[in-house]
Chains A and B, each alone.
Chain A
């Protein structure tokens, strides 16, 4: 009897898994080509990359990464390369705009490739292909800019007649909407805005920005706040202000994107407020979107990730994650 029971137990243990329905990870056998937008190693793109990589690992999907140096032409070129490889899905950054992408995305949709968009929206294409899984994960640049200006007014107590310096990239069609949103809200409140366009050299290498800040603050000692519409420059604000002999908490500084250096600057009082687009979510959720559409036919999701704000009270919890490239 004992032997029969033992044999039966062994049989059940070996045979049962063979008969049970095999559970697999949702993304297995799915290949996704992913454009991280920036250069390899760029601060923002690396966090997007980490999010997509994590989703690929969690879901079992295979991700191939591309880099575009924030060049719209390179993004289109990368899309064509991805299209030629005929993957299951492609994640694009929307910087080139609807009309530039339209013929290629149409071709991809005809071939059954799921396309979804992150960071900068493609509203017309999303409307056309929403049911085929074309979603948008990322901040609404214009709203993010407006929210940043409102939050700055609230936190810094800005009022009519105050002077605010805004350093941004208005020349970039969609990315520039953030600076536009900031300026509009401030000017509506009667705040005087000194807008400065970031030069291409400083855009590429933030260490060149010191004399610009020194020159501006020495010519405008009555400036109440500075809003830096650029992640890498925000991360260098401590150095810029130190070089200008401006101590912590002397000028209110707001900026975008968290990095280890920005976290240090917040702790020391050189930066007071960060608008966080939560780039990790761009990578993670866009991969998830494609996998879910491929497997279960879900339509496109629209998720605004740009509502996060980080100040001194929140930084302690988030700083270790910034060091790992997750926030």
Chain B
């Protein structure tokens, strides 16, 4: 009983995933009982999930980041430019991730040092970073077709046994690292305390500013890495990259059970939430439904998940 109570959020989200999978298998056995669709899912889920992992830390810390689609595009642009100029995938990844971290540091500076609320600061940086990127790129896409012949590509986006995309392996590694940070490391405690009550956290001796700076830099790094994964998988960069991710990344985090008020959240929930959000549209298409159904089903899943969380929150259970 204690186990069920302790892990109720994780159990809810896992049940929703299993239910959806069973439904899709029933509606479209040809697609969902063969391996191809799972390989395709594993190739695209990491784009959303890597962003959602970073955003989970930000939201648990009681903050918000709306700039990640632009950071993704900026980092992807740096990745493509460095790759075109040097031909080195590793150098390009380092430059892109550094750019992401730098954008995160800019957010942190505005929020922690200047005192701008995070939602406002990151709306500003979203425009600033996207604008600067488009300006530097002169609005033109970059073809990275040569990347497919490199060893670096095999490390980033190659296929293990012609089935498991390497980006999924990176996602699993990152998920484990984030699980350890949030659940088994002092950093995780600091993030949760800061998100729950920043003043109380200060009294307890936690450096709230340093903790917030850390989560925004990590979010920037995650955005940069997600941009790298998109560029590598697609062998292409385009100036509007990342724009479609805003809502689905937030949806992944919230159906995963992370509290919008901060202080609470699960990395496992976010990981499963990203899988659910990423699989709905293709599941419906395979079942023969119109694409117009996608948002409706997103809505049902999100409402179901957050209603369960509201009903089973600590307060309700204590009553």
Q: How large is the interface on A (under 10, 10 to 19, 20 to 34, 35 or more residues)?
A: 35 or more
Does A197 have its Cβ within 8 Å of any Cβ on chain B?
yes
- A205 and B290 contacting across the interface, CB-CB below 8 Å: no
CA distance A128 to B92 in the complex (A): 56
Give the contacting residue for A215; candidates B133, B286, B295; CB below 8 A.
Answer: B286
Does A200 have its Cβ within 8 Å of any Cβ on chain B?
yes
Q: Which of B137, B143, B287 has the most CB of A within 10 A?
A: B143
- A211 and B143 contacting across the interface, CB-CB below 8 Å: no
Q: How far is the CB of B32 from chain A (nearest CB, A)?
A: 9
- A207 and B47 contacting across the interface, CB-CB below 8 Å: yes
- A205 and B244 contacting across the interface, CB-CB below 8 Å: yes
Does A17 have its Cβ within 8 Å of any Cβ on chain B?
no
Q: How far is the CB of B153 from chain A (nearest CB, A)?
A: 13
Question: Which A residues lie within 8 Å of B294 (CB)?
Answer: 199
Does B248 have its Cβ within 8 Å of any Cβ on chain A?
yes
- B139 and A46 contacting across the interface, CB-CB below 8 Å: yes
Does A159 have its Cβ within 8 Å of any Cβ on chain B?
no
CA distance A218 to B235 in the complex (A): 24
- B139 and A208 contacting across the interface, CB-CB below 8 Å: no
CA distance A204 to B249 in the complex (A): 14
Give the contacting residue for B44; candidates A171, A207, A219; CB below 8 A.
Answer: A207
- A196 and B40 contacting across the interface, CB-CB below 8 Å: no
- A41 and B139 contacting across the interface, CB-CB below 8 Å: yes
Does B187 have its Cβ within 8 Å of any Cβ on chain A?
no
- B279 and A211 contacting across the interface, CB-CB below 8 Å: yes
Does B243 have its Cβ within 8 Å of any Cβ on chain A?
yes
- B139 and A212 contacting across the interface, CB-CB below 8 Å: no
Q: How far is the CB of B133 from chain A (nearest CB, A)?
A: 8
Does B281 have its Cβ within 8 Å of any Cβ on chain A?
yes
Does A42 have its Cβ within 8 Å of any Cβ on chain B?
yes
Query: Quick one: CB contact mask for B138-167 with A, threshold 8 Å, 1 for yes?
Result: 111111010000000000000000000000
- B244 and A219 contacting across the interface, CB-CB below 8 Å: no
Does B10 have its Cβ within 8 Å of any Cβ on chain A?
no
Chain B at the A interface: mostly helix, strand, loop or mixed? helix
- B139 and A325 contacting across the interface, CB-CB below 8 Å: yes
- A201 and B282 contacting across the interface, CB-CB below 8 Å: no
Within A157-182, which residues are at the interface with B (CB < 8 Å)?
171
- B141 and A260 contacting across the interface, CB-CB below 8 Å: yes
Does A43 have its Cβ within 8 Å of any Cβ on chain B?
yes
Does B37 have its Cβ within 8 Å of any Cβ on chain A?
yes
Does B170 have its Cβ within 8 Å of any Cβ on chain A?
no
Question: Which A residues lie within 8 Å of B177 (CB)?
Answer: none
Smallest Cβ-Cβ distance to A202: which chain B residue: B244
Does B176 have its Cβ within 8 Å of any Cβ on chain A?
no
- B244 and A204 contacting across the interface, CB-CB below 8 Å: yes
Does B299 have its Cβ within 8 Å of any Cβ on chain A?
no
Smallest Cβ-Cβ distance to A221: which chain B residue: B30
CA distance A196 to B233 in the complex (A): 24
Does B131 have its Cβ within 8 Å of any Cβ on chain A?
yes
Q: How far is the CB of A204 from chain B (nearest CB, A)?
A: 4
Question: Which B residues lie within 8 Å of A216 (CB)?
Answer: 282, 285-286
Give the contacting residue for B282; candidates A41, A197, A211; CB below 8 A.
Answer: A211
Take A207-B233, A236-B234 as given contacts and tell me if A196 and B134 are in contact as well, using a CB distance cutoff of 8 Å: no
Smallest Cβ-Cβ distance to A261: which chain B residue: B236
Give the contacting residue for B40; candidates A198, A207, A210; CB below 8 A.
Answer: A210
- B282 and A235 contacting across the interface, CB-CB below 8 Å: no
Take A196-B290, A207-B234, A236-B234 as given contacts and tell me if A219 and B28 are in contact as well, using a CB distance cutoff of 8 Å: yes
Does A232 have its Cβ within 8 Å of any Cβ on chain B?
yes
Within B277-319, which residues are at the interface with A (CB < 8 Å)?
278-279, 281-283, 285-288, 290-292, 294-295
CA distance A257 to B36 in the complex (A): 29
**Stretch of A19-27, A129-137, A238-246 at the chain-chain interface:** A238-246
Question: Which B residues lie within 8 Å of A60 (CB)?
Answer: none
- A218 and B34 contacting across the interface, CB-CB below 8 Å: yes
Take A199-B295, A202-B244, A215-B286 as given contacts and tell me if A208 and B141 are in contact as well, using a CB distance cutoff of 8 Å: no
Question: Which A residues lie within 8 Å of B279 (CB)?
Answer: 211
Q: Which of B141, B143, B235 has the most CB of A within 10 A?
A: B141
Within A286-327, which residues are at the interface with B (CB < 8 Å)?
323-325
Smallest Cβ-Cβ distance to B47: which chain A residue: A207
CA distance A160 to B282 in the complex (A): 28
Does A141 have its Cβ within 8 Å of any Cβ on chain B?
no
- B36 and A40 contacting across the interface, CB-CB below 8 Å: no
Q: How far is the CB of A128 from chain B (nearest CB, A)?
A: 34
- B37 and A218 contacting across the interface, CB-CB below 8 Å: yes
Query: Quick one: CB contact mask for B31-69 with A, threshold 8 Å, 1 for yes?
Result: 100101101110110011000000000000000000000
Does B240 have its Cβ within 8 Å of any Cβ on chain A?
yes
Given contacts A201-B247, A210-B43, A325-B139, list 11 more A-B pairs with CB under 8 A: A40-B139, A41-B133, A199-B291, A202-B244, A205-B244, A211-B37, A215-B286, A239-B233, A259-B238, A325-B138, A325-B140
19 A-B pairs (CB sep. < 8 Å): A41-B134, A43-B238, A46-B239, A196-B290, A201-B248, A202-B281, A207-B230, A207-B233, A208-B248, A211-B282, A212-B282, A213-B40, A215-B286, A219-B30, A235-B238, A244-B36, A244-B40, A261-B235, A325-B139
